[in-house]
């Protein structure tokens, strides 16, 4: 996606009312060339005063680059599955906890205002190793909290979570680490994305990762696809009377720069296709 | 869809473990020519001993034909929206309640073993008239219960329902008519189908209408589309540990006769596309 298209897309999302956007990843350009322009994208995003600019970083080196670029929040993926951890970042889980501790230390030294989030990948299951033990997920969350991160979220990287599991695991996460319990990052791989978001909401989660048009996946998790569609998620909450601050017609309009920037990429979303119901008003 | 394909499709669904199938509608062939073979389809479905054979009937005449054909359960659509009622069956709501009472009387005379269900269409909103008053839905449910029907369900004909509304309305339905409160018939028009099913399940609903591949819509409700996809619904419940009695691989295999019988018709479903998660076993 050309840098200009990324800028236009961010502008459209901000115009729709989004106040936190993960604009890219600080990863080596030789591994993910599509992220080579991350500094320029961050610089543009920072020109929007009301926006919290967030980026993914896989390690200390990425975090230092993100701090230097002025990013306001970073998110690190730490896998609950050892197999996915090795495939995704070529480190064991224990090594990743050490890496996160080093990032938190660097943050304290050089960028104390930056929020550090960890999303626990494959928290609900893994395409590589299958079942993931819930106790291990919670142990990992406790270790990350002890390492000093500000938020620990749970990610259904490969779309295997179900509502009962989402309720149970987020409830346990909150008992384990209290107010550090963070976002629900849920995929729609098997169509359960919104049901899982509802389940998380029911047990007190109020931060949800989503992507416009359901764009997404993970290059290192076979079969991973389809983040929760932002448009449908916002429609669900607004319909329920939950104020999201997002203007739905403008959010749907933000699909246009995405489409232009990534021609040929399939873009999902039932609400944009069906349109808003007759008489529907954002909260 | 040729009659032979309908037969093969029913066989495949029965093989997957479904025990109640709405096999068609008793409507004039000049209005819906695709239902002209309904008697033959019912006769074939009745050859499966474990199956409860169900059909939609719009009025007394259809009910009498269904009784004569040996149908074991009928469902009548009664709209909560006056505008949809006129468009769908060319009768007012009050006339439809009278019609239902006549059907119940005929059942008592000629086919006392047949179960009579009413699905209240547009219970959550209507594309023709917009908002639908909840008190009116409940009043209608009470009238139908008084008319002697066995089950009253709620239908989101046009896909405008949201989880908070589903919980509220099914909870109110149960207070109003007790054990006569019936199925949730929810569409996936705006992607909320499974979230709405989960919401209904949370408040005690255990009967769900769905269609294989999300086939569906309503010829008389503009913009109506996409029933909840049976495959995804079964996956959600089985993943949650709720025994559905349905074998998922066989259910997914039942898409083949559907595809052959309706070539070119779009068939939806995320679970069939993604496949079952590694290590997944039906309950």
DSSP calls for chain A: --HHHHHHHHHHHHHTT--EEEEEE---TTT-GGGTTHHHHHHHHTTSTTPEEEEE-SSHHHHHHHHHHT-SEEEEEEESSHHHHHHHHSS-HHHHHHHHHHHHHHHHHH-TT-EEEEEEETTT-BTTTB---HHHHHHHHHHHHHTT-SEEEEE-TTS---HHHHHHHHHHHHHHHGGGEEEEE-B-TTS-HHHHHHHHHHTT---EE-BGGG----TTSTT---BPBHHHHHHHHHHTT------HHHHHHTHHHHHHHSTT-----HHHHH-PPTT----
User: Residue B184 — pLDDT band, cuts 50, 70, 90?
Assistant: very high
Is A191's CB within 8 Å of B223's CB? no
A vs B, Cβ pairs < 8 A, gives 117
User: Residue A88 — pLDDT band, cuts 50, 70, 90?
Assistant: confident
Tens-place pLDDT, residues B81-105 = 999 999 988 999 999 999 999 999 9
What is the average per-residue pLDDT within B181-208? 97
Residue with tokens 């897309």: A9
String of b and e for B231-270 (b: at least 16 CB within 10 Å)? Answer: bbbbbbbbbbeeebebbbebbbebbebbeebbeeeeebbb
- Tell me what pLDDT residue B48 has: 98
User: Residue B222 — pLDDT band, cuts 50, 70, 90?
Assistant: low
Q: Give the residue from B3, B7, B136, B14 showing the smallest Cα distance to B78.
A: B136
Q: How far apart are CA B228 and CA B219, in angstroms?
A: 17
- Tell me what pLDDT residue A222 has: 63
Is B190's CB within 8 Å of A232's CB? yes
What is the average per-residue pLDDT within A126-148? 95
ipTM: 0.92
Phi-psi map region of A241: left, alpha, beta (phi>0 left; psi -120 to 50 alpha): left
- Tell me what pLDDT residue A118 has: 98
Q: How far apart are CA B23 and CA B51, in angstroms?
A: 11
Q: What is the CATH number of domain B3-274?
A: 3.20.20.70
Is A236's CB within 8 Å of B195's CB? yes
Mean pLDDT over each residue of chain A, to the nearest integer: 95
Give the chain B residue whose CA is nearest to the CA of A271.
Answer: B190
Is B239's CB within 8 Å of A130's CB? no
Is B160's CB within 8 Å of A277's CB? yes
Compute, in degrees rounded to 10, the torsion defined by CA atoms B2, B7, B10, B15: -140
Q: Which candidate from B126, B199, B270 shows the least CB-CB separation from A189?
A: B270
Q: Which candidate from A131, A192, A271 shows the least CB-CB separation from B190?
A: A271
From B2's Cα to the closest Cα of chain A, the distance in A is 30
Contacts of B244 in chain A (CB under 8 A): none
Q: How far apart are CA B78 and CA B76, in angstroms?
A: 6
State the catalytic residue, choosing from A132, A218, A233, A246: A218
Tens-place pLDDT, residues A228-267 = 999 999 999 999 999 999 999 999 999 999 999 999 888 8
Q: Evaluate whether A208 touches A248 at the Cβ level (below 8 Å).
A: no
Contacts of A159 in chain B (CB under 8 A): 274, 277
- Tell me what pLDDT residue A282 has: 78
From A240's Cα to the closest Cα of chain B, the distance in A is 6
Is A191's CB within 8 Å of B190's CB? no
Q: Give the residue from B180, B179, B184 showing the smallest Cα distance to B166.
A: B184
- Tell me what pLDDT residue A128 has: 86
User: Residue B1 — pLDDT band, cuts 50, 70, 90?
Assistant: very high
A11-20, A125-134, A199-208: the lowest-pLDDT one: A125-134
A116–B contact, CB cutoff 8 A: no
Number of Cβ atoms within 10 Å of the Cβ of A263: 8
Tens-place pLDDT, residues A169-190 = 999 999 999 999 999 999 999 9
Contacts of B236 in chain A (CB under 8 A): 162-163, 191-192, 195
Q: How far apart are CA A59 and CA A50, in angstroms?
A: 27
B62–A contact, CB cutoff 8 A: no
A111-120, A133-142, A261-270: the lowest-pLDDT one: A261-270
Alpha helices in chain B (DSSP H): 3-15, 38-45, 60-69, 82-89, 93-110, 134-146, 163-177, 193-202, 230-239, 248-253, 255-261, 270-274
B279–A contact, CB cutoff 8 A: yes
pTM: 0.94
Fold entry, domain A3-268: TIM Barrel (3.20.20)
- HSE-CB for B112 with a 13 A CA cutoff: 2
Q: How far apart are CA A214 and CA A225, in angstroms?
A: 9
Q: Is B272 exposed, middle or buried (0-12, 13-18, 19+ CB in 10 A)?
A: buried
Q: Is B229 exposed, middle or buried (0-12, 13-18, 19+ CB in 10 A)?
A: buried
- Tell me what pLDDT residue B161 has: 96
Give the chain A residue whose CA is nearest to the CA of B166.
Answer: A240
Mean pLDDT over each residue of chain B, to the nearest integer: 94
Mutate to test the interface with B, among A123, A133, A186, A190 (most CBs of B within 10 A): A190
Tens-place pLDDT, residues A3-34 = 999 999 999 999 999 999 999 999 999 999 99
Helix/strand/coil for B274: helix
Helix/strand/coil for B250: helix
Helix/strand/coil for B230: helix
Q: How far is CA B212 from CA A176, B227, B244, in A?
A: 41, 9, 15
Q: Which candidate from B127, B225, B236 shows the least CB-CB separation from A192?
A: B236
Residues 85-114 of A with CB under 8 A from B: none
From A82's Cα to the closest Cα of chain B, the distance in A is 16
- Tell me what pLDDT residue B75 has: 98
Q: How far is CA B91 from CA A93, B81, B213, B224, in A?
A: 65, 11, 31, 20
Q: Which candidate from B189, B194, B197 shows the least CB-CB separation from A274?
A: B189
Contacts of B278 in chain A (CB under 8 A): 125-127, 130
- Tell me what pLDDT residue B89 has: 87
Contacts of A194 in chain B (CB under 8 A): 191-192, 194-195
Domain boundaries, chain A: 3-268
- Is the Cα torsion angle B260, B264, B270, B276 positive or negative in sign? positive
Percent of chain A with pLDDT strictly greater than 70: 97
Q: Which candidate from B162, B190, B194 shows the least CB-CB separation from A240?
A: B162
Give the chain A residue whose CA is nearest to the CA of B194.
Answer: A195
- Tell me what pLDDT residue B11 has: 98
- Tell me what pLDDT residue A219 has: 61
Contacts of B162 in chain A (CB under 8 A): 236, 239-240
pLDDT of residue B228 exceeding 80 = yes
Residues 137-196 of A with CB under 8 A from B: 158-160, 162-165, 188-192, 194-195
Contacts of B125 in chain A (CB under 8 A): 277-278
């Amino acid at each position: 996606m050309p840098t200009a298209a990324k800028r236009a897309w961010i502008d459209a999302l901000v115009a729709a009312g989004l106040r936190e956007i993960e604009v890219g990843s600080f990863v080596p350009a030789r591994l993910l060339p599509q992220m080579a322009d991350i500094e320029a994208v961050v610089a543009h995003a920072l020109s929007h005063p009301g926006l919290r600019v967030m980026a993914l970083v896989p390690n200390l080196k990425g975090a230092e680059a993100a701090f230097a670029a002025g990013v306001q929040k970073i998110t690190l993926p730490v896998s609950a599955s050892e197999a996915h951890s090795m495939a995704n970042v070529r480190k064991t889980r224990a090594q990743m906890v050490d890496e996160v501790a080093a990032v938190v230390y660097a943050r304290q030294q050089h960028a104390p205002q930056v929020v550090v989030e960890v999303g626990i990948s494959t928290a609900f299951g893994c395409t590589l190793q299958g079942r993931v033990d819930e106790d291990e997920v919670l142990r990992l969350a406790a270790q990350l909290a002890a390492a000093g991160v500000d938020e620990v979220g749970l990610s259904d990287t490969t779309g295997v979570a179900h509502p009962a599991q989402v309720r149970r695991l987020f409830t346990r996460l909150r008992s384990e680490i209290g107010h550090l319990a963070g976002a629900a990052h849920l995929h729609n791989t098997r169509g359960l994305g919104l049901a899982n978001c509802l389940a998380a909401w029911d047990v007190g989660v109020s931060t949800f990762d989503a992507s416009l048009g359901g764009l997404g996946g993970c290059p290192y998790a076979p079969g991973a696809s389809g983040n929760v569609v932002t448009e449908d998620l916002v429609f669900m909450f607004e319909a329920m009377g939950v104020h999201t601050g997002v203007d739905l017609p403008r959010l749907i309009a933000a699909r246009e720069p995405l489409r232009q920037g990534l021609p040929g990429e399939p873009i999902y979303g039932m609400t944009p296709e069906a349109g808003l119901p007759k008489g529907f008003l954002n909260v």
